[in-house]
Amino acid sequence: MRIAFLSDIHGNDVALNACLSVMAGLDVSEHHFIGDAVGYLPGEIAVLNRLESLGAYCQQGNHEAMLLSKISCDHENESQYKLNRARARLESTGWIEKIMGWPTLVSRTIAGKRFLLVHGSPTSPLYDYIYPDSDLSSLKDIPYDFVVMGNTHRPFVRKEGDIVFANLGSIGLPRDRGNLASFGIYEIESQEFSIVRVPINVEEILRVYGSDIHEAVAACFQRKAAEVFGKIVNEFGTRI
CATH classification at residue 74: 3.60.21.10
145 lies in a domain? yes
Q: How far apart are CA 155 and CA 190, in angstroms?
A: 21
Asked if the model's pLDDT at residue 169 lies above 50, the reply is: yes
What is the number of structural domains in the chain? 1
Residue 53 sits in which domain range?
A: 2-232
Q: How far apart are CA 164 and CA 143, in angstroms?
A: 12
CB 83 within 8 A of CB 67: yes
Cα-only R_g, the chain: 17
Average pLDDT (93-120) is 97
Asked if the model's pLDDT at residue 142 lies above 90, the reply is: yes
Task: For the chain, list the strands marked E by DSSP.
Answer: 2-6, 28-33, 57-58, 105-110, 113-118, 146-149, 156-160, 163-167, 180-187, 192-199, 231-232
Average pLDDT (8-33) is 96
Average pLDDT (84-103) is 96
Among residues of the chain, what percentage have pLDDT more than 90?
90
Q: Distance of alpha carbon 221 from its chain centroid, rounded?
A: 16
95 lies in a domain? yes
- Residue 210's pLDDT band (cuts 50, 70, 90): confident
239 lies in a domain? no
Give the model's pLDDT for residue 240: 42
CB 136 within 8 A of CB 156: no
- Residue 201's pLDDT band (cuts 50, 70, 90): very high
Asked if the model's pLDDT at residue 148 lies above 90, the reply is: yes
Average pLDDT (177-181) is 97
* Phi, then psi, of 134 in degrees rounded to 5: -65, 145
- What are the residues whose beta carbons fall under 8 Å from the beta carbon of 27, sequence distance 6 or more? 1, 2
Give the model's pLDDT for residue 119: 98
Asked if the model's pLDDT at residue 115 lies above 50, the reply is: yes
167 lies in a domain? yes
pTM value? 0.95
Q: How far apart are CA 80 and CA 28, in angstroms?
A: 33
240 lies in a domain? no
